Structure 1
């Protein structure tokens, strides 16, 4: 398998070999999602280990199949400590993984993939759990365990680094949509550079404290507009943008009366509908690729949550690997 590469602005593209990544073109960053004709330079040439089948490559390509994971009880697993039951394991169906090249990344593979990159995740506690999954992949177990208390300081931001690979990971506490709009319209415009990967998500705090889907939709429209403005007006390539969807809520397990009164399946459906119709997601003309936490949490099931809202680490591990595989697939398709 060959690899040829040329510099693409500040980002670079990487590739699979065998079942996992084994090398990078020049070793840093990822190509943006923009069509190749709009890019000032062409980046690295990327190949998948197996040819993509006609059915998998049609429409929006393999990206649309990334959430088709299966859940099973982990072999020999004991109680997971969540109060729900045994630990669960996730996987892609072998035929789909082979056709599309989906793969779990090792620590080395993920570090190569994100070499020199800045990853920013902004949102509420769901976003924190995604950052924790990423740190558990990038750092050794002792370092990840040491980082967790700092990451979960209440209502605070957090920054981590992987010095050996020059990777920065930021968590920005931004529980409301207005926080995300300000991040896009003000904070990132003042930053010396943009993140290479930007993950945003919101809705749980709005659902609890405002409980109005239409109001949530109006706020989302501002986020969507700010993201489009950021992509179109800045001279450098924009970040890869992901939207962290709402989890499946198990109403009777929620731990306060207010949550049980305001947060239920009907409200989640109404809030999800606003995400679909307010121009947030790429399929609807927006800037973000959906990380469908709702589908993954529902698939894992009630046994994967202790409080009906926050799920076990395996769920966010799946979310993270879906995101990382999407980065590679989208990069390949845009060359």
Structure 2
């Protein structure tokens, strides 16, 4: 900033046809003043904090986002060594501890999501994530949980719940294929109503019924284009006027639910064991990376890394090799909520 001032101000003065000596004198005085100011800034904490907050916050935010999946599981999952909060915790490494990740209580979650519209769309993995979020908002011991779970898990159906006391609405959209997700995004754009938080994930059905990673890549490219056009601040969209809905124009919160670790020997049908192999899963993960849907590869969606969570929890956490213990999805929800806290610069 100082360099720009020293360069641009004299150039502006030159437009006033000042003499060269006057310009050189002013430039020198300006440079000395700025140099002294920079060296004195550390002795004035309020100024120092203001000057450094932008860079420090941005660095800290991105570094902490990359550490969100540093989760440790107790072994075995039901051992007495598990904490009262459950069988998982964040790593105790110095970097992770400095991020101060929190396991949010139901009241904290309600405060964070107060007045929000959350859409979770995808296959059965997305349905479990939606359940994990609702259990956290309502509280595990809520009398509503059994009926919520019953309605949410009606086969191949959508689900909606509105919690009037906190103005919270959650929609689960059954969207087993990426093309279903793209269609959903087109609907948001057509209606110009956008959720505050959009959590999506798809791939398992395509792997089972099409078993073609190249075709999956094409659908993901189409999805990425739709997501980019959905964002009110995207360069591709341009400035087309205000959008409706409660979505934050400058910080839409978009998440992608990654595919879990598939344990082939536990899959419950022969067709699944034949088609949903480790090699095919790796091919689909590579397709996701190449599509640039995820932020890690230059895209707009933050990954909820279910592969990492399920791999670390292990075989003990699944009965069918595809769907995992509720604690895994609980961890994914807490990771998502902490990402929301980081990106909205909030603390609890």
Q: Counterpart of 1:273?
A: 286
8 Å CA contact 2:258, 2:305 repeated in 1: yes
Say whether residues 1:67 and 2:69 are aligned partners: yes
Query: Structure 1 residue 142: deviation in Å?
Result: 1.4
What TM-score does the superposition give when structure 1 sets the normalisation length? 0.76
Which structure 2 residues correspond to residues 239-254 of structure 1 after superposition, within 5 A? Answer: 239-254=252-267
- What is the CA–CA distance in structure 1 between the aligned matches of 2:265 and 2:86, rounded to whole Å? 21
In the TM superposition, residue 98 of structure 1 has moved relative to its aligned partner by 3.0
Query: Displacement of 1:145 after TM fit?
Result: 1.7
Q: Aligned partners of 1:242 and 1:191: how far apart in 2? A: 21
Structure with more contact order per residue of length (Cα contacts < 8 Å, sep ≥ 6): 1
Match in the other structure for 1:165? 166
- Radius of gyration: which is bigger? 2
Seen in structure 2, the aligned counterparts of structure 1 residues 96 and 146 have a Cα distance that, compared at 3 Å, is farther
Deviations 1:185-218 (A, max 9, x none): 2x11244631000011000000000001111011
1:304 to 317, 338, 345: 317
Q: What is the RMSD of the two structures over their aligned residues, measured on CA atoms? A: 2.4
Task: Give distance in 2, aligned partners of 1:148 and 1:75.
Answer: 23
Runs of 4+, deviation exceeding 6 Å:
none
> What is the total number of aligned residue pairs between the two structures?
272
Q: Give the 3-state SS of the residue equivalent to 1:243 in structure 2.
A: strand
Residues 88-112 of structure 1 deviation map (CA, whole Å, 9 limit, x = unaligned): 7110023445300200000000000
Quick check: 1:88–1:300 contact (8 Å CA) kept in 2?
no
Q: TM-score w.r.t. structure 2 length?
A: 0.74
Give 3-state SS (helix, strand or coil) of 1:153's partner: coil
**Is residue 179 from structure 1 mapped to residue 169 from structure 2 by the alignment?**
no
- Secondary structure of the 1:195 match is coil
Q: Are residues 252 and 88 of structure 1, via their aligned partners in 2, closer, same or farther at CA, if it must alter by over 3 Å? A: farther
Counterpart CA distance in 2 for 1:161 and 1:190 is 23
Paired with 2:192 and 2:229, the residues of 1 have a C-alpha distance of: 18
- On the 8 A contact 1:207/1:267 being kept in 2, the answer is yes
Structure 2 unpaired stretches of 5+: 1-52, 244-248
Distance in 2 (alpha carbons) for counterparts of 1:212 and 1:183: 23
- 1:269 and 1:132 mapped to 2: Cα distance? 27
Residue 111 of structure 1 is matched in structure 2 by: 110
* 3-state secondary structure, aligned to 2:157: coil
Q: Secondary structure at the match of 1:194?
A: coil
Q: Which runs of 5+ in 1 are unaligned?
A: 1-50, 78-86
Q: State whether structure 2 residue 132 is matched by structure 1 residue 133.
A: yes
